Structure 1
Amino acid sequence: MRRRLYVWYRFFVVVSLFGMLVLPFVVQAQTVSQGYGVTGAVQKGMIVMLDPDDSQKVMPLTNKTDKAMHGVVVSANDTVVSLGSSNSSNQVYVASNGKYDALVSTQNGPIKNGDIISISALDGVGMKADAAQNVILGKALTNFDGKKNVSGTTTLQSAGGERQVAIGLVQVDIGISRNPLAVSVSGPPVPAFLRKSSESIAGKPVSTVRLYISLAILLITIFLTGSLLYGGVRSSLVSIGRNPLAKKTILRGLVQVVIFGLIVFVIGLIAIYLLLKL
């Protein structure tokens, strides 16, 4: 009886540990936006950056400062938790993770579901990414062909002369990260096989921070599962050697330990999947 209680105790300790490690990231990814003051003209759906002169304010992101990408302006009602400051009367809310509408243009052509979104030549407005951008906002979840649901149009100067582009809203699965299409002289910050594996699981580019957190959770999962199985098998063999008559009871306890180990491993895999996917 005491042995069984000990096994249950270890199991609940492991589950609690995973909850403390993973849940804060999942909650933050889906439900939290931060309030900021504004510098310049900022509206809902704009891609913004922190004001270099005042970290309590945001301003429209430009294509020359794409590495400073911070998130998308959303409504306070779009998220479950909106963290704001009462010091600013002109306040907007910014989401750095989650699925929200973002302003985009057809500068790089029509946007389709699954296209990667980055900043365009229009301040605060995104477009379909190419190799010229360093950072991406995330993956488009809806289409925008520049013909339907157009919010406005503008004219851009290009090498071929002036051309008109349409502006509208698409839903984006926000996950600010390095542009996988960009050519980097120094190489990617993580091994290529890890990045490809994470992107195949998530179905979108994954930030380096999330990737390394997921890798850490995987290593912790393997360690805890191995410890449970090793401890259970070792103690069971020792117990059988000391008391052969209790072999059935000891083996039943070993089966429980194996099941708990598998449950811990599955919980770890689910946690990694959620962290990469959300």
Structure 2
Amino acid sequence: MFVAKIKHLLTFKRCASFLMLSALVALRLTGGIYAQSVTQGYGSDETLQRGMIVGTKKDDPTKVEALNVDQLEQMLGIVVSPNDSPITLSGDDEKVFVATVGRYEVLVSDQEGAINPGDYITASSLDGIGMHATFDQSEIIGRALTAFDGTGGNIVGQSDLIDTNGNARSVKIGRIELDIAISKNPLAKSAAVTPEWLGKIGQAIAGKSLSPARIYISAGIFIIGSVIAGSILYAGIRSSIIAVGRNPLSKRSILRGLVEVIFTALIVFIISVVGVYLLLRA
């Protein structure tokens, strides 16, 4: 009797349903399933495209506007299509739908260089357009899931802007898939360990913001190269002066050797400078 009840409870359908439910729970816990967020509708006084980074207006929290790098504290989410999410909440006058979490396409530029999967994304100098985040920005909108390098078929436009050095430049705009997770920029935490003057020198050479690691490695290469070149030069000059004092008749050959020493030290110094430049510009 007891065995019969057990067999009745453990039917094939019930066992299969239990296994499927267990598999779904396991996938959800391990990150295998990514549910799209519930999108919220907002009003807007400007035309906003799908994929733009937006934030709430300071004087009207029911409306959103395209953000740039100077408005990171207002960051809210990404403009999406109402069909991109299974659930949307909006009123009659709220026609701009914003996702604050989930995986959606975002408009980005190559203002701070190429974007690779896993890079942090923040707002750029262009309203509504994202870029590769550096330690200069305090907030991020999320992490890139796909790449963009300003080439290929995913370019949707280009725009001109003024960089941090006051120079006009053209940037490419495209779309990438983004895992939205608005938070403090983890890279900004390391900015405090870099002296401001050193960061400005590196940024002036590279034409973009740099990580503290790259700045310190470049500074180390330059210092080591300068020390080696200076040591060679000092040793050569000192030896030449001593040699001329001991043997004035060999002055010409000694000076020829000194010229070779100076040339060698100059080559070492130039190599270190070129190495630093290539490292910063990479």
Q: What corresponds to 2:135 in structure 1?
A: 131
Shift of 1:77: 0.4
Cα-to-partner distance string for 1:63-96 (whole Å, 9 max, x where unaligned):
11101100000000000101111134xx110000
Q: Does 1:175 align with 2:181?
A: yes
Q: Write out the 4+ residue segments of structure 1 that deviate beyond 4 Å after TM superposition.
A: none
For 1:1-278, what aligned pairs fall within 5 Å after superposition? 30-88=36-94, 91-148=95-152, 149-158=154-163, 159=165, 161-183=167-189
Shift of 1:163: 1.4
Shift of 1:183: 3.5
8 Å CA contact 2:37, 2:100 repeated in 1: no
Q: Which runs of 5+ in 1 are unaligned?
A: 1-18, 187-278
Shift of 1:39: 2.4
Give TM-score scaled by structure 1 length.
Answer: 0.54
Give TM-score scaled by structure 2 length.
Answer: 0.53
Give the counterpart letter for 1:98 in structure 2.
G
8 Å CA contact 1:39, 1:51 repeated in 2: no
User: Per the alignment, do residues 39 and 87 of structure 1 end up closer, same or farther by CA in structure 2, a change over 3 Å counting?
Assistant: closer
Task: Answer 1 or 2: higher relative contact order, Cα 8 Å, separation at least 6.
Answer: 1
Shift of 1:41: 2.9
Using the alignment, how far apart are the partners of 1:182 and 1:29 within structure 2? Answer: 29
Using the alignment, how far apart are the partners of 1:37 and 1:46 within structure 2? Answer: 15
8 Å CA contact 2:123, 2:130 repeated in 1: yes
The total of aligned residue pairs comes to: 162
Shift of 1:185: 9.3
Give the counterpart letter for 1:116 in structure 2.
Y
Cα-to-partner distance string for 1:250-274 (whole Å, 9 max, x where unaligned):
xxxxxxxxxxxxxxxxxxxxxxxxx
Which has the higher Rg, Structure 1 or Structure 2?
Answer: 2
Q: What corresponds to 1:196 in structure 2?
A: none
8 Å CA contact 1:29, 1:97 repeated in 2: no
Cα-to-partner distance string for 1:1-46 (whole Å, 9 max, x where unaligned):
xxxxxxxxxxxxxxxxxx9xx99xxx99623100011122311100
Using the alignment, how far apart are the partners of 2:166 and 2:41 within structure 1? Answer: 41
Using the alignment, how far apart are the partners of 1:85 and 1:28 within structure 2? Answer: 27
8 Å CA contact 2:135, 2:190 repeated in 1: no
The sequence identity of aligned pairs, in percent, is 45
Using the alignment, how far apart are the partners of 2:70 and 2:162 within structure 1? Answer: 16
Using the alignment, how far apart are the partners of 1:49 and 1:183 within structure 2? Answer: 24
Using the alignment, how far apart are the partners of 1:62 and 1:75 within structure 2? Answer: 21
Using the alignment, how far apart are the partners of 1:169 and 1:76 within structure 2? Answer: 18
User: Per the alignment, do residues 146 and 174 of structure 1 end up closer, same or farther by CA in structure 2, a change over 3 Å counting?
Assistant: same
Shift of 1:160: 6.0
Q: What corresponds to 1:275 in structure 2?
A: none
Give the counterpart letter for 2:156 in structure 1.
S
Cα-to-partner distance string for 1:204-263 (whole Å, 9 max, x where unaligned):
xxxxxxxxxxxxxxxxxxxxxxxxxxxxxxxxxxxxxxxxxxxxxxxxxxxxxxxxxxxx
Using the alignment, how far apart are the partners of 2:75 and 2:35 within structure 1? Answer: 16
Using the alignment, how far apart are the partners of 1:175 and 1:41 within structure 2? Answer: 24
Give the counterpart letter for 1:172 in structure 2.
L
- Aligned partner of residue 142 in structure 1, secondary structure: coil
